[in-house]
């Protein structure tokens, strides 16, 4: 959706993802997905200059390359064992996807249906349990619906606030194509923080399969500054790949 400012829905999602890393300091950003990757690079170029980024393989990089291009300036080597050291000690903030997520932030990326006879086989657990128990975790969900935001996930991969153990467990933020959510409630359940321009609170409620905590005055996701918009469009994602991940 395009609003009067010319900012697209995808760009509001980029801004919302970028804000997940605000205030993190010198910590490894691990974005999974195109819009989170644009968001992490935007954060690095603006309000989070100490954020650590990788080339997606084994190098820490200093420059912010356009999407699809290889960085040119290497800061250091990050072999898998050192990456795991950061992940296990709370020094990484990962933004994962979710095939299902419930009100307490339990995430499923393994299968849909009964574990013994699933109706859909998905990715598997991968690193979700370790991620959520050992470093800050956020989620990016490009298609907000009651099939994704469910009362109870079929399989717990990422661990939610009702099951959490360990000193580094921290669910920070959920960003979808409709709005932004956190877990800043007394029982650690999901709360609606803001809606993207053009989205109503009632639309979010109707697309969510569990009761959301909703404040009296839900904000609107902030507008990118002119400089942020320029960086998104001309420096980080000049080919506009972000628009393929979020319906306009």
Residue 123 DSSP one-character state: S
Question: What sections of the chain are H helices per DSSP?
Answer: 9-19, 34-45, 80-88, 128-134, 201-206, 226-230
- Between the alpha carbon of residue 184 and those of residues 133, 141, 173, the distances in Å are 18, 19, 10
pLDDT band, very low/low/confident/very high, at 72 (cuts 50, 70, 90): confident
pLDDT in tens, 97-148: 999 999 999 999 999 998 888 888 888 788 888 889 889 999 999 999 999 9
**pLDDT at residue 56 in the model:** 77
pLDDT, average across residues 213-235: 95
pLDDT tens for each residue of 114-125: 888 888 888 878
Highest mean pLDDT among 70-79, 80-89, 211-220: 211-220
All domains of the chain, ordered by start, with CATH? 9-239 (3.40.1080.10)
> Taking the CA atoms of the chain, what radius of gyration do you get in angstroms?
18
For residues 53-58, average pLDDT? 82
CB atoms within 10 A of CB 224: 21
Q: If pLDDT is split at 50, 70 and 90, which confidence band does 5 have? A: low
89's tokens: 């000690």
Give the chain's end-to-end CA distance (angstroms, integer). 4
- pLDDT (average), residues 141-168: 93
Q: How many CB atoms lie within 10 A of CB 186?
A: 6
What is the C-alpha to C-alpha distance for residues 90 and 132, in angstroms, rounded to an integer? 10
Residue 56 to residue 168: CA distance in whole angstroms: 23
pLDDT at 1: 36
Q: In whole angstroms, what is the distance from residue 190 CA to residue 197 CA?
A: 20
pLDDT tens-digit map of 185-199: 999 999 999 999 999
**Token match 């603006």: residue?**
46
Cα separation of 179 and 156, whole Å? 23
181: which DSSP letter? E
The answer to whether the CB of 87 falls within 8 A of the CB of 135 is yes
* % of the chain exceeding 70 in pLDDT: 98
With H, G, I as helix, E, B as strand and everything else as coil, classify residue 169: coil
Residue 3 pLDDT: 41
Position of tokens 């959510």? 181
| pTM of the model as a whole | 0.92
| Residue whose entry in the numeric block shows the structure tokens 């997940």 | 20
pLDDT, greater one: 151 or 125: 151
């Amino acid at each position: 959706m395009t609003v009067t400012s010319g900012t697209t829905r995808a760009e509001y999602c980029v801004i919302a993802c970028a804000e997940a890393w605000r205030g993190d300091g010198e910590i490894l950003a691990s974005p999974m997905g195109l819009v989170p990757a644009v968001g992490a690079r935007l954060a690095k170029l603006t309000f989070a200059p100490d954020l650590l980024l990788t080339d997606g393989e084994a190098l820490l990089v200093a420059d912010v390359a356009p999407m699809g291009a290889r960085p040119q300036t290497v800061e250091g080597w990050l072999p898998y064992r050192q990456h795991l050291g950061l992940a296990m000690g709370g020094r990484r903030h990962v933004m994962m996807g979710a095939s299902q997520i419930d009100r307490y932030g339990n995430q499923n990326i393994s299968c849909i249906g009964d574990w013994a006879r699933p109706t859909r086989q998905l990715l598997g657990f991968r690193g979700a349990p370790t991620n959520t128990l050992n470093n800050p975790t956020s989620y990016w969900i490009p298609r907000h619906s009651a099939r994704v935001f469910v009362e109870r996930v079929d399989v717990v991969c990422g661990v939610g606030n009702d099951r959490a153990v360990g000193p580094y467990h921290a669910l920070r933020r959920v960003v979808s194509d409709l709005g932004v959510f956190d877990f800043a409630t007394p029982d650690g359940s999901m709360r609606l923080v803001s809606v993207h321009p053009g989205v109503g609170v009632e639309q979010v409620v109707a697309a969510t399969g569990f009761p959301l905590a909703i404040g009296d005055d839900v904000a609107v996701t902030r507008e990118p500054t002119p400089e942020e918009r320029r960086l998104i469009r001309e420096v980080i994602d000049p080919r506009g790949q972000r628009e393929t991940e979020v319906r306009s």
